[in-house]
Amino acid sequence: MASSYQIGLTTGMRRGELLGLEWKNVNLEQGTIQVKQTVVYVNKQHIVKEPKTKNSVRTVTVPVSLIDELKKFKSVWKKDRFKVGDKWEGGEYEFLFSSWHGKPMHPSSITTWWNRFEKRYNLPHIRFHDLRHTSATLLINSGVHAKIISSRLGHADIRTTMNIYEHALQEADVEAANKFENLFGVNKKSRGLEA
């Protein structure tokens, strides 16, 4: 079933954006997620507010395999919501990730889930936020244009993406040079130009 870390890794969403994600913002037919709000915890209260910047309000396409998981997750979510009945405290909100009675989750809950997941599968420890960086790095190494990555992450400016992921971009540039080396090396050999 879809988890916060699957969505976090494939979309690059921030933790607060994941906590603020509602079913009305998930389009299972088009395979997109709209990032429209975030949940923060201040003075022992959950506050639903607009994302960090105007560019943080965005639509992100998700992998087809995740859509299938989200469909299963929504079915289970609806059954659980029905069981709660009049004990529901979520009001108008239908958060994907909430407490059993619909209230927003505390931000540390996602971190706790992630830490348990790492231990269960004997993964090296990284912060939950680092999934966002992993998402960007995987896209850079796959040759996705920096402007697309910047848009998926909700950065206000492509320069922010370039600055944060400079090291990964440099590695991708080295790989690009290696591809030329392989290309020219093969051509030289095939043309008998090798010394």
Domain ranges of the chain: 1-127, 129-195
* Segment 120-167, tens digit of pLDDT: 999 999 998 889 999 998 998 888 998 999 999 999 888 888 888 887
Distance CA 88, CA 173 (A): 52
Q: Where are the alpha helices (DSSP H) in 121-157?
A: 130-141, 146-153
Fold of the 1-127 domain: hpI Integrase; Chain A (1.10.443)
**Selection from 74, 19, 72 nearest residue 47 by Cα:** 19
* Segment 59-74, tens digit of pLDDT: 999 999 999 999 999 9
Tokens representing 115 are: 């830490």
Is this structure's pTM higher than 0.85?
A: no
CA angle 102, 105, 111 (to 5 degrees): 150
**Selection from 27, 52, 55, 29 nearest residue 39 by Cα:** 52
* pLDDT above 50: residue 191: no
Residues 6+ positions from 57 with CB-CB distance below 8 Å: 35, 36, 50, 51, 154
pLDDT number for residue 64: 94
Q: Which amino acid is at 160?
A: T
pLDDT number for residue 184: 73
* pLDDT above 90: residue 178: no
pLDDT number for residue 185: 67
